[in-house]
Amino acid sequence: TVELSISGGISYVWSPSDYLNTTNTSTVTTSPLETITYTVSVTNEFGCVNHDEITITVYSEARMAIPKAFTPNGDGRNDVLYYYEKGMSKTNLMIFNRWGQMVFESTGPNIGWDGKLNGVDLEMDSYTYYLTGTTLVNEIINQKGNISLIR
């Protein structure tokens, strides 16, 4: 919930009325579900009208997800491992083999892993991933888990 307040007038009109508790007072509260711009018209004791606006930005919940397994066997299904992100300003995925060697790194969800290292197919095994992201409001989210490479 956000409280919006303005002074210097004798009458006030806020618009649009979406999510507002009232539209004709100097102070209103709102809990918008989406980004919205409000305009307030203020009339002073001499009848002069002035307008101002404010945009309330609503960020959706940031999320990242990665599959638990993929099958880079050339059948055209699940051949490349991609991760999903929403509401992130930047992300980083690192994948390591059981000996701690980094076998893949990606700085975006559109850069997938094909199960290879330097062009050579890696063995069917369980690999450890670290997925880190920064949200649009600069919060850090860290995820760690295992991915099964199945051939």
pTM here is: 0.67
Same domain, 47 and 73: no
Number of domains in the chain: 2
Find the domain containing 68 and state its range: 63-149
pLDDT band at 137 (very low <50, low <70, confident <90, very high): confident
pLDDT band at 126 (very low <50, low <70, confident <90, very high): very high
CATH number at residue 68: 2.60.40.1220
**What tokens appear for 103 in the block?**
């076998």
- The per-residue pLDDT for range 21-74, each reduced to its tens digit, is 999 999 999 999 889 999 999 999 999 999 999 999 987 788 999 999 999 999
Are residues 96 and 146 in contact, defined by beta-carbon separation less than 8 angstroms?
A: no
